[in-house]
Chains A and B, each alone.
Chain A
Amino acid sequence: MLEVKNLHAWIEGQEILKGLNLTVKPGEVHAIMGPNGSGKSTFSQILAGRDHYHIPDGTITFGGKDLFELSPEERAREGIFMAFQYPVEIAGVTNAYFLKAALNAIRKHHGEPAVDAFDFLEMIQDKMALVKMDESLLKRPVNEGFSGGEKKRNEIFHMAVLDPKLAILDETDSGLDIDALRIVADGVNSMRDEKRSFIVITHYQRLLSYIVPDFVHVLVDGEIVQSGGKELALELEEKGYAWLQQHPSDETDEESVAG
């Protein structure tokens, strides 16, 4: 489904990704872990189509299509969804209106008729229950005045409604208390099936106790330095990133192993 080969990315004269490879098959859940500044967010931003980056080398295909040929909105319509680490506020535009516009843009892309407000409200009932969303959040402007937890739940709610093929969760666990974390994880788990894939980007192992991944990859300094099963996350939690950071290069730069 997703094939990333030898991805190099630069920003402001700095190389952030240094030859990243990743293959995600339908139905798989991949976790990408790594310390701050390792390139995790850069990777998710590139997948979603942010164009800040200079990409001198590498390929990404999604469902056989060259991702670089697709604009961010085309990627979304093709089935890529990113849950933002910092969801953006849009004043004066209700959450329901926004999501309906998004859904209809995607439906149009697939030659499906637009849904009207009534059908839309009916369609989203069970999705709202999924993340225990209060109905009032539908009528409020997008993310405006939402608590941290509400914003993240709203992202998962958007994901549930838009029904993507590949969902990228960019540090969705950051700033969540344990109850909210559980709700978010339950929402994700209920959407797991043999067709849908997830890339879960996180700093901590904690989220992965709730969303149990098929694969764990450790990203350090722009490269995946180790891949493994779900146990790898636990090992990492125990030993810290420094343990792995020594492996790829022979430098032992303890200073950069923050957090």
Chain B
Amino acid sequence: MSEIDHSEGTAPVAPGPSTPATTEDAIRQLEERKYREGFVTDVEQDTLPPGLDEDVIKLISMKKNEPDWLLEWRLKSYRNWLTMIEPTWANVSYPPINFQAISYYSAPKSMAGDQPKSLDEVDPEILDTYEKLGIPLLEQKKLAGVAVDAIFDSVSVATTFKDKLAEVGVIFCSFSEAVREHPELVQQYLGSVVPHRDNYYAALNSAVFTDGSFVYVPPGVHCPMELSTYFRINASNTGQFERTLIIADEGSRVSYLEGCTAPMRDENQLHAAVVELYAHKDAEIRYSTVQNWYPGDEQGVGGIYNFVTKRGLCDGDRSKISWSQVETGSAITWKYPSCILKGENSIGEFYSVAVSSNYQQADTGTKMIHIGKGSKSTIISKGISAGHGQNTYRGLVRIGKSAENARNYSQCDSMLIGDQCGAHTFPYIDVRNPTAQTEHEASTSKVGEDQLFYCASRGISGEDALSMIVNGFCKEVFDHLPMEFAVEASNLLQITLEGSVG
């Protein structure tokens, strides 16, 4: 069949530039998506030279003016880490990480010293950075109803609404400040959920963590506003190793949000965080994440390695921990927010949307460890793969001997956009008590031309159609996000998939 070019003629050729939406367009344009948080803030930074040894750890501890017990804990973790082997079981591939090429501490010079700064003293460039990211820190512009702890590389630059929270006894501050002001709480709980030798990256974090957020909600208090931390990596060649610890005492309640972004750079950067949640009797913690680390460019160059350990302990009876996450960023995501359901009738939940496009790889899921009688868990996971993205759900449901009448419901759905991407599901179910009930459902669907064409035939453009289809797919998870976050997540998804179809 000859290619037709009746130039000047009236004969139409198969549609040209205004071509209707096809899946191929979707893939091509998805790969060209923009990352809107990729700018660099120009501030003078105090950065340690690359490399890791005991002296570096001592230096970090000294810069933070830490007590001896904490330095000892760090060194113990470091010595453990040296004996451990990097895990390779995840369904991701990347060249070996040179841990000696990473700088383990970087802070804006203006934040030097161990005393908390008032906002007037914070470099305007940094305030401007957060403003650009939609996180105003200044008093008159603060987000209503949300208290924010802003972390810039290795330090916390500001925490809003601290005083107001203190009125009801809620402690919300940077980790460093908690070490200074509430050492007994930190010492009691640090490592109680994620032990320092838990896994390779948790051990590394325990040795070199720099800052993060600390929350303590006293008995019976329902935290009057959403708490949130915004993590920003700015410096190059640095790792970010933050540590977050949230304690909900008896009968208390708290909802916590986490957001993250980083500049666009060609080299990969490591982010290895640890988050520990501790729920006492009748306490409830909701932890929501919108993770938008720089994912690398369309060729797969650059981007953040997001190797994170997040775990919650439902220690008391009827306690509840609920994880929600929307993972759109990072070159590689390796993360399994988990619940240890120790208390009787305790509840664990995991709601997740993970998107991988271009050359992103995500291996994410959860672990629900049932120990307490009547403990219940729910897992809803939605994986979206586009471009050359690889998305893996990996989850463990373990029902121990003691967990009479424990129940689990798991649902893992995967959506494929285009035919170059992959979705993988590895559910592990380990039941040791015959009274337990577990259910697992899984599905895989493809955003096909049929769906896009159907929308187009009703006047809806390819971009709006894709956003609608993807949002519909994620609805069950978005419904569990705090209201404002749900809107942000939905917008982020839209930006992530922007330009996906012609």
Contacts and interface: CB of A to CB of B under 8 A. Distances in A.
Does B bind A?
yes
A58 interface: yes
B7 to A, nearest CB: 14
Interface stretch (A43-51, A176-184, A201-209, A223-231): A43-51
B453 A72 contact: yes
A4 B4 CA distance: 19
B343 interface: no
Interface string B3-25: 01000001111110011111000
B455 to A, nearest CB: 8
B80 interface: no
B128 interface: no
Interface in A7-65: 10, 13, 48-51, 53-60
Contacts of B19: 51, 71
A71 B21 contact: yes
Given A84-B457, A109-B459, A101 B464 contact: yes
B474 A158 contact: no
Given A92-B475, A98-B468, A101-B464, A51 B457 contact: no
Given A51-B19, A54-B1, A56-B11, A72 B457 contact: yes
Most chain A CB within a 10 A radius of its CB, from B19, B453, B473, B476: B453
Given A58-B12, A66-B12, A72 B1 contact: no
B469 A90 contact: yes
A88 interface: yes
Nearest to A94: B472
B375 to A, nearest CB: 29
Contacts of B453: 48-50, 72, 88
B464 A51 contact: no
A101 B468 contact: yes
Given A54-B1, A90-B472, A91-B473, A73 B460 contact: yes
A92 B464 contact: no
A77 interface: yes
B451 A49 contact: no
Contacts of B461: 73, 105
The number of chain B residues touching the other chain, given as a range, is 35 or more
Given A59-B11, A90-B451, A76 B456 contact: yes
Interface size class of A (residues with CB under 8 A): 35 or more
B462 interface: yes
Nearest to A59: B10
A102 B460 contact: yes
A66 B472 CA distance: 35
B468 A72 contact: no
Contacts, number: 122
A158 B13 contact: no
A92 B18 contact: no
A69 interface: yes
A49 B20 contact: yes
Nearest to B447: A90
B462 A73 contact: yes
Nearest to B2: A56
Interface in A65-103: 66, 68-77, 81-82, 84, 87-88, 90-93, 97-99, 101-103
A69 B468 contact: no
A106 interface: yes
A103 B464 CA distance: 13
A210 B451 CA distance: 30
Given A51-B22, A88-B451, A92-B473, A102 B459 contact: yes
Contact of A105 (B460, B474, B475, B502): B460
A128 interface: no
A162 interface: yes
Contact of B21 (A48, A72, A76, A97): A72
A75 B48 CA distance: 60
B4 A56 contact: yes
Contacts of B13: 55-56
A76 B476 contact: no
A217 B333 CA distance: 59
A10 B292 CA distance: 45
A68 B15 contact: yes
B403 to A, nearest CB: 33
B468 to A, nearest CB: 5
B12 A87 contact: no
B454 interface: yes
A157 to B, nearest CB: 12
B468 A162 contact: no
A54 B459 contact: no
Interface in A167-212: none
Interface string B432-472: 00000000000001000011011111111110100011011
A71 B457 contact: no
Contact of B14 (A53, A71, A97): A53
A66 B10 CA distance: 10
Contacts of B450: 88
Given A55-B14, A70-B18, A72-B453, A10 B1 contact: yes
Given A55-B13, A57-B11, A93-B472, A76 B20 contact: no
Most chain A beta-carbon neighbours within 10 Å: one of B21, B458, B468: B458
B472 A87 contact: no
Contacts of A101: 460, 464, 468
A141 interface: yes
A105 B20 CA distance: 16
B12 A72 contact: no
A70 B475 CA distance: 32
Interface in A97-122: 97-99, 101-103, 105-106, 109
B13 to A, nearest CB: 7
24 contacts: A48-B457, A49-B457, A50-B453, A56-B13, A57-B11, A59-B12, A70-B18, A71-B20, A71-B502, A72-B456, A72-B457, A73-B461, A73-B462, A74-B18, A76-B456, A81-B457, A84-B454, A90-B451, A90-B454, A91-B445, A92-B472, A101-B468, A102-B460, A105-B464
Given A76-B458, A81-B457, 20 more contacts: A48-B453, A49-B457, A55-B13, A56-B11, A57-B11, A60-B12, A71-B19, A71-B502, A72-B20, A76-B457, A87-B454, A88-B450, A88-B451, A92-B474, A93-B468, A93-B471, A98-B458, A101-B464, A101-B468, A103-B459
